[in-house]
Amino acid sequence: MPLSPEQQAEIDALRSAPKPTLRAVSEGMEAHLYNAIPVLDHGFVRVIDYMGDDAAICQAARVSYGKGTKSVSNDEGLIRYLMRHWHSTPFEMCEVKLHVKLPVFVARQWIRHRTANVNEYSARYSILDREFYIPEPDALAAQSTVNNQGRGAVLEGEEAARVLEILKSDCNRAYDNYETMISDEGQQGLARELARMNLPANIYTQWYWKVDLHNLFHFLRLRADAHAQYEIRVYADAICKVVADWVPAAYSAFEDYRMGGATLSGKALDCLRRMLKGEEVTQETSGMSKGEWREFIGVVG
Ligand SMILES: Cc1cc2nc3c(=O)[nH]c(=O)nc-3n(C[C@H](O)[C@H](O)[C@H](O)COP(=O)(O)OP(=O)(O)OC[C@H]3O[C@@H](n4cnc5c(N)ncnc54)[C@H](O)[C@@H]3O)c2cc1C
């Protein structure tokens, strides 16, 4: 279970005491504030705080004295223009602070995104909970035979059962030993900072993660993508829904230009122009490598 009744009560208390403010407020984001969105078996994402909205992006772009808003359609057009032309700093004017609970091996991929501020739960100070990520049957798959960095067919029957049993028993044995080592009953007890070292990478950790909208879009483009590992993608997908409610115009532009769009090389553009003129272009006549050609055909269908 992602949240204990005490934790849920703290969230409910925060949500039941709204305060008036002169700051920009996004109605969509207010609905998410503090609430935990469950992800994987024990994880979650929740919004702790945010700054700005769609209008704040336009306000910054126009360096305005007031709201900077001309009209909704005008603002949407400006946001699309900024996204299309890779203007980054107006999007950096919006920020979000998330509380994320995630398996350590997912945190290890996530932390590679350096343009955020992070504060992680201290396993030197606190005792970790007995919470491990165990994949659902449909996420328990074999090594891919076509992509070294991916998974293939879902494991079934006895093999799935055997793998699940290994995963579960290893976690529990490691956690039993962790508890035994830190115990100070009848012994000195090993320091928490040392006892944690043989816990498996599917144990859950937690952090506060603060990032601006420009760098969040960069994170989402990479991690909500089909090439990202499923276990980080589900977090990115959950955050995408939050961002769509927070800054609908900016998210819609991001979805269109970044998630739905594609970048073409000079050679690829040349091929496309030749194809549009009716020429039959093949990989051999394209000037592209086999891999580039495959990806190009993937983009243009
Ligand atoms: C599908 C996938 C597979 C991956 N596989 C691997 C792998 O096998 N091994 C591996 O090690 N990593 C891997 N990564 C991680 C990847 O290489 C990046 O480290 C990660 O995605 C963070 O991207 P970033 O550096 O652009 O993001 P951020 O750290 O958020 O940086 C955002 C941008 O800021 C700029 N920037 C930030 N810091 C600096 C700096 N110090 N100097 C210059 N510019 C900077 C860059 O323009 C950068 O793109 C993988 C990522 C993905 C999505």
The boundaries of the domain holding residue 187 are 134-200
pTM of the model: 0.94
CB atoms within 10 A of CB 187: 10
Single-letter residue type at 219:
F
Helix (H, G, I), strand (E, B) or coil at 225: coil
Q: How far is the CA of 87 from the centre of ligand 1 (A)?
A: 20
Binding site membership of 118 for ligand 1 (Cβ less than 6 Å): no
**Rounded CA separation 69/91 (Å):** 15
Same domain, 223 and 95: yes
112 lines ligand 1 (CB under 6 A): yes
Residue 120 and residue 65 in one domain: yes
Asked if 113 and 83 touch (Cβ cutoff 8 Å), the reply is no
| Ligand 1 neighbour 114 (Cβ under 6 A) | yes
Residue-by-residue pLDDT tens, the chain, 301 positions:
678 899 999 999 999 988 899 999 999 999 999 999 999 999 999 999 999 999 999 999 998 877 666 677 789 999 999 999 999 999 999 999 999 999 999 999 999 999 999 999 998 999 999 999 999 988 887 777 777 777 778 788 888 889 999 999 999 999 999 999 999 899 999 999 999 999 999 999 999 999 999 999 999 999 999 999 999 999 999 999 999 999 999 999 999 999 999 999 999 999 999 999 999 999 999 999 999 999 999 999 8
Mutate to test the pocket of ligand 1, among 91, 112, 230 (most ligand atoms within 8 A of CB): 112
User: Is there a single domain that holds both residue 178 and residue 221?
Assistant: no
Q: Number of structural domains, the chain?
A: 3
| Residue 69: per-residue pLDDT | 66
Comparing CA positions, the residue from 134, 171, 110 lying closest to residue 40 is: 134
Quick one: 98 and 12 in the same domain? yes
156 and 20, same structural domain? no
| 224 Cβ below 6 A of ligand 1 | no
- Whether residue 255 is found in the same domain as residue 277: no
Ligand 1: which atom is nearest the Cα of residue 227? 1
CB-based contact 152:142 (threshold 8 Å): yes
Atom 17 in ligand 1: residue holding the nearest Cα: 112
Q: Helix 213-223 to helix 230-246 angle, to the nearest 10 degrees?
A: 140
Joined together, the tokens standing for residue 187 give 């012994």
Which DSSP symbol is given to 203? B
Q: Which residues are catalytic?
A: 223
206 and 190: one domain? Answer: no
User: Where residue 122 sits, what CATH number does that domain have?
Assistant: 3.30.1360.170
- How far is CA 157 from each of CA 20, 138, 139, 140, rounded to the nearest angstrom? 57, 12, 14, 11
